[in-house]
Homo-oligomer: A and B are copies of this chain.
Amino acid sequence: MVKARRYVYKTAFDGEPKKTDLEIVEEELRPIKDGEFLCKAVYLSVDPYMRAYMSRYETGVTMIGGQVAEVIESKHKKYPVGRYVVGYFGWVDHVISDGKVQFSGAVTEVYLLPDFGKLPVSLGLGVLGMPGQTAYFGFLELCQPKENETVVVSGAAGAVGSLVGQIAKIKKCHVVGIAGSDEKCKWLIDEIGFDRAINYKTANFEKQLQNAAPKGVDCYFDNVGGEISSTIIKNMNYRGRISVCGSISSYNDTHNNLSKATVIQPFMIFKQLRMEGFIVHRWADRFGESTKEYLKWISEGKIKYRETVTNGFENMFEAFVGMLKGKNIGKAVVRAFPK
């Protein structure tokens, strides 16, 4: 018999998630049937969208999310023992699957991780998974960056933002990252090649932005929303493009009582800006394209990745809230069973 632990969404989040909003329950799993397989979590993902999406769920459900898991028992040909998969099983450490799983109102397929060679399987939750696809398609398709343009990225030290900035450098843009600590800014410039980085928590953000982007902003990849975004949009150039990926500054607000920020419509008009929000599944039929590009870029040293790893399935809540507060650099993941 296998014991499985899962996080139940016990009390609806109200503002910043509290530890008591979730409860770990332990259940014995039944034996698998034909056409099923048993997964054991290896790495679990914590992402900003989880905070935003849970407001659509009733309490009592399992916390949503994706993970890299190992198939440890199988009666399903496609998913043999020993293979690694990515599945949106939620916050569970063992699960029985038939290869399909409900995620955000749609049925998704459990994805067999291709051979990453020497690269760690955790990248299936990062640069070689959803954050990577989000950065690649959300930036290139909606911002349409051109050589020598100025690209600003907020949430720049996060899983998605750090990739967007590096892609923008590959596309020969002037890249400015916005992040929440001096340590993150240093990493952006010294390690992954951003041209400039601004700690938005220090004084006079707009002045710093104008210094870092003296020719104005052509493309803005937005992970945060709120006042920071209003200020960046105010400083955009004629026919600038904004890709709206996240709005983490308001994820702890309730749906009917969101925070306010400086209106952006006047800038949208007089600079004739275009702004588009997206969810990455729009490009699901092209996901292979980004993974192929990233593998090439990583092998050429053009894309670097970083992970902030929390050890232990029982520490997922801390990893989640830490990520929401911006404590991670690069992709935040949880190693389910540290050796």
Chain A residues close to B by CB (< 8 Å): 52, 222, 225-226, 229, 244-247, 249-251, 255, 258-279, 282
Q: How far is the CB of A76 from chain B (nearest CB, A)?
A: 33
Does A277 lie within 8 Å of B282, measured CB to CB? no
Does A266 lie within 8 Å of B279, measured CB to CB? no
Docked Cα-Cα span, A251 to B266, in Å, equals 8
Does B282 lie within 8 Å of A272, measured CB to CB? yes
Q: Which residues of B contact A271 (CB under 8 A)?
A: 277
Looking at the complex, which one of B225, B262, B268, B274 makes contact with A266 (CB distance below 8 Å)?
Answer: B225
Q: How far is the CB of A91 from chain B (nearest CB, A)?
A: 21
Does A263 lie within 8 Å of B261, measured CB to CB? yes
Does A250 lie within 8 Å of B279, measured CB to CB? no
Quick one: given A269-B246, A269-B247, are A225 and B263 in contact (CB under 8 Å)? yes
Query: What are 10 contact pairs spanning A and B, CB under 8 A?
Result: A225-B266, A226-B265, A250-B266, A258-B266, A260-B261, A269-B279, A271-B277, A272-B279, A272-B282, A275-B275
Does B263 lie within 8 Å of A260, measured CB to CB? yes
Q: How many copies does the complex hold?
A: 2
Looking at the complex, which one of B229, B246, B266, B282 makes contact with A247 (CB distance below 8 Å)?
Answer: B266
Quick one: given A226-B263, A266-B52, A266-B247, are A276 and B274 in contact (CB under 8 Å)? yes
Given contacts A250-B266, A274-B274, 4 further A-B contacts (CB under 8 A): A244-B268, A259-B263, A261-B261, A272-B279
For the complex of A and B, list the 7 residue pairs with the smallest distance between their C-beta atoms, beginning with the closest: A268-B277, A225-B265, A247-B265, A269-B277, A260-B260, A274-B276, A244-B268
Q: Which residues of B contact A282 (CB under 8 A)?
A: 272
Docked Cα-Cα span, A278 to B265, in Å, equals 10
Looking at the complex, which one of B255, B258, B270, B276 makes contact with A279 (CB distance below 8 Å)?
Answer: B270
Q: Which residues of B contact A267 (CB under 8 A)?
A: 277
Looking at the complex, which one of B249, B251, B268, B278 makes contact with A272 (CB distance below 8 Å)?
Answer: B278
Does A262 lie within 8 Å of B258, measured CB to CB? yes
Does A276 lie within 8 Å of B265, measured CB to CB? no
Q: How far is the CB of A196 from chain B (nearest CB, A)?
A: 23
Q: Which residue of B lies closest to A245 (CB)?
A: B269
Q: Which residues of B contact A263 (CB under 8 A)?
A: 225-226, 247, 249-250, 258-261
Q: How far is the CB of A160 from chain B (nearest CB, A)?
A: 12
Looking at the complex, which one of B244, B250, B272, B277 makes contact with A277 (CB distance below 8 Å)?
Answer: B272
